[in-house]
Amino acid sequence: MRFVKGHGTENDFVILPDADGRLELGHKQVAALCDRRAGIGADGVLHVVRTKLCAEVADQAAEAEWFMDYRNADGSIAEMCGNGVRVFARYLVDSGLAGAGELSIATRDGVKRVRLGTAGDVSVDMGMPRVLGVSGVNVNGRDYQGLNVSVGNPHLACVIDDPVADLDLRYWEPDFDHEVYPAGVNIELLNLVADHTVSMRVHERGSGETRSCGTGTVATAVAAAHGIGETTGTWTVRVPGGTLTVTLDERTSHLSGPAVLVASGDYPAVV
Ligand SMILES: N[C@@H](CCC[C@H](N)C(=O)O)C(=O)O
């Protein structure tokens, strides 16, 4: 099975080209591919398949030839992945499946418009994030409150006073409100570190702590802006794997940053 490996600010993905929709990807297969010791290793899988072949998104086929069928490292399915869609676009262009410049990609959260810049950056129109209320989470005995933000997928973004760099999240099993988040949640913990600049750590649903999360940085920007009484503006979000830029306006949000392909090869079998 052919694969390509890529990442966006070290949120890393196994890309599986499957133009004709022949691959049958189950939870176990995805988890085996993403295993960092026994597999290729990644935070998730980007299955590249023609939109018209997938019933769940076939209505997007007129606008977007390719569907980003995203899976978390544990094999679970998510609606959207902000870094994933940027890496997916990089793959389509570098492999000749799409022309450079702007392109549309089908996702479970609808068609996303992506633009490849000349300096290696990839930007995506993430749509209008929705603030759904407030909720709480316990981190190693400390209770934090945050904003419940939908960026197509669910987030709890908490502005906290404790420095995020000092948090020990190695054995953390997020303790969140299951009535608010019946399908699980991605949790962002953030500090304001300068004007419109935040440091963020994230625990992703289905993948654990990752070094970056695109939808998470959008939720983070929304929560940070909310904390200072704003709803629009440009935010720099520092994550363990690099830096992303989020712009919020009255209609939508944009996410921008690097997206690179680092390896390709043949994987012997999908177990
Ligand atoms: N890393 C992604 C988000 C991937 C999906 C998430 N774990 C979920 O289950 O909702 C991003 O860059 O947005």
The CATH number covering residue 193 comes to 3.10.310.10
- Which mutation among 204, 220, 254, 255 tests ligand 1's pocket best, with the greatest number of atoms within 8 A of CB? 204
- What is the pLDDT at residue 201? 98
Res 112: pLDDT? 98
pTM score of the predicted model:
0.97
Asked if residue 25 belongs to a domain, the reply is yes
Which of these is catalytic: 34, 54, 158, 213?
213
**149 and 69 both lie in a single domain:** no
Q: For the chain, what is the mean pLDDT?
A: 97
**CB of residue 204 inside a 6 A radius of ligand 1:** yes
Q: Does the residue 223 lie in any domain?
A: yes
Query: Does 8 lie in the same domain as 86?
Result: yes
Location of structure tokens 């759904």: 132
Same domain, 185 and 246: yes
100 domain residue, yes or no: yes
Res. 94 pLDDT band, cuts 50 70 90: very high
| pLDDT (0 to 100) of residue 268 | 84
Question: Rounded to the nearest whole angstrom, what is the distance from the C-alpha of residue 10 to the centroid of ligand 1?
Answer: 13
Six token digits for residue 152: 């197509």
Q: Residue 171: its pLDDT value, please? A: 87
State how far the Cα of 52 lies from the Cα of 255, in Å rounded to an integer.
27
Q: Do 100 and 182 have their domain in common?
A: no
Q: Is residue 191 annotated as involved in ligand binding?
A: no
Residue closest via CA to ligand 1's atom 4 equals: 81
Confidence grade of residue 270 (pLDDT, cut at 50, 70, 90): low
Alpha carbons 256 and 228: distance in angstroms, whole number: 22
Instruction: Answer whether 15's CB lies under 8 Å from 44's CB.
Output: no
Domain containing 239 equals 130-251
Is there a domain that residue 201 lies in? Answer: yes
Encoded amino acid at 210, one letter: T
Work out how many domains the chain is built from and give that number. Answer: 2
Block residue for tokens 């799409």: 98
**Do 22 and 73 have their domain in common?**
yes
pLDDT of 161 reads 95
Average pLDDT over residues 39-55: 98
Q: Which atom of ligand 1 is nearest to the CA of 72?
A: 7
Mean pLDDT of 65-79: 98
DSSP string for 6-41: EEETTEEEEEEE-TT------HHHHHHHH-TTTSS-
Check whether residue 122 and residue 134 sit in a common domain.
Answer: no
Q: What mean pLDDT do residues 82-87 have? A: 98
CA distances from 252 to 19, 65, 128, 189, 226 (A): 31, 23, 4, 23, 16
Q: Are 139 and 241 in the same domain?
A: yes
CA angle 189, 191, 197 (to 5 degrees): 120
The tokens for 25 are 């990807």
**How far is Cα 89 from Cα 82, in angstroms, rounded to an integer?**
11
Name the pairing type of β-strands 44-50 and 11-17: parallel
DSSP codes, 197-226: EEEEEEEETTTEEES--HHHHHHHHHHHHH
Q: Name the active-site residue from 34, 54, 81, 158.
A: 81
Cα 212 to Cα 95: distance, rounded to the nearest angstrom:
25
Is 83 annotated as ligand-binding? yes
pLDDT at 119: 87
Residues 243 and 148 grouped into a single domain: yes
Q: Helix or strand or coil: residue 116?
A: strand
C-alpha to C-alpha distance for 164 and 238, rounded to whole angstroms: 11
Q: Which residue bears the tokens 């420095």?
A: 163
For residue 271, being part of any structural domain is answered with: no
pLDDT at 110: 98
Question: Could you tell me if 116 and 154 lie in one domain?
Answer: no
Which amino acid would we find at residue 237? V
pLDDT category at 200 given cuts 50, 70, 90 is very high
Q: Is the CB of 186 under 6 A from ligand 1?
A: yes
Which atom of ligand 1 lies at the shortest distance from residue 83's CA? 12
Pocket of ligand 1 contains residue 72 by CB under 6 Å: yes
Strand, coil or helix: 231: coil
- Asked if residue 181 and residue 116 are part of one domain, the reply reads no
Same domain, 56 and 134: no
- What string of DSSP letters covers 234-248? EEEEEETTEEEEEEE
Report how far ligand 1's centroid is from the alpha carbon of 56 (Å). Answer: 19
Statement: residue 271 has pLDDT above 70: no
Q: Mean of the pLDDT values across residues 69-89?
A: 98
Q: Would you say residue 18 has pLDDT above 80?
A: yes
Residue 48 tokens, joined: 């590249």
Say if CB 252 and CB 217 are below 8 A apart: no
% residues pLDDT > 90 (the chain) = 95
For residue 84, give the ligand 1 atom closest to its CA.
12
**pLDDT tens across 157-190, in order?**
999 999 999 999 888 999 999 999 999 999 999 9
- DSSP β-ladder status, 186-194 and 154-159: parallel
Q: Are residues 193 and 117 in the same domain?
A: no
